[in-house]
């Protein structure tokens, strides 16, 4: 399986606002990735979700 690579993406207008709950540790890891890559927290979350869906086992 290909590893996730965080990339800088342009913003799109196709978005939905939704509240989710994540653990504090997960939040800290995502925030660190966002800061390291100089992109928004939201952009990192969306990339992680897209990667997970793309690599989801159909079994």
Against a cut of 0.85, is the pTM above it? no
Q: What is the pLDDT of residue 14?
A: 84
Q: How far apart are CA 53 and CA 59, in angstroms?
A: 13
Q: How buried is residue 44: exposed, middle or buried, by Cβ count under 10 Å (0-12/13-18/19+)? A: buried
| 34 inside domain | yes
Q: How confident is the model at residue 11 (pLDDT cuts 50, 70, 90)?
A: low
The C-alpha angle 53, 1, 23, rounded to 5 degrees, equals 50
| 8 inside domain | no
Please give the tally of structural domains in the chain. Answer: 1
Domain enclosing residue 35, as ranges: 24-54
Of the two residues 34 and 5, the one the predictor is more confident about is 34
Q: What is the pLDDT of residue 32?
A: 97
Which tokens is 59 given? 């079994």
**Residue pLDDT, tens place only, 20-53:** 999 999 999 999 999 999 999 999 999 999 999 9
């Amino acid at each position: 399986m290909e590893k996730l690579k965080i990339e800088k993406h342009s913003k799109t207008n196709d978005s939905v606002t939704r509240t989710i709950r994540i653990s504090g540790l997960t939040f800290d890891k995502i925030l660190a990735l966002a800061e390291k890559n100089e992109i928004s927290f939201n952009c990192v979350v969306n990339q992680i979700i897209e990667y997970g869906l793309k690599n989801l086992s159909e079994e």
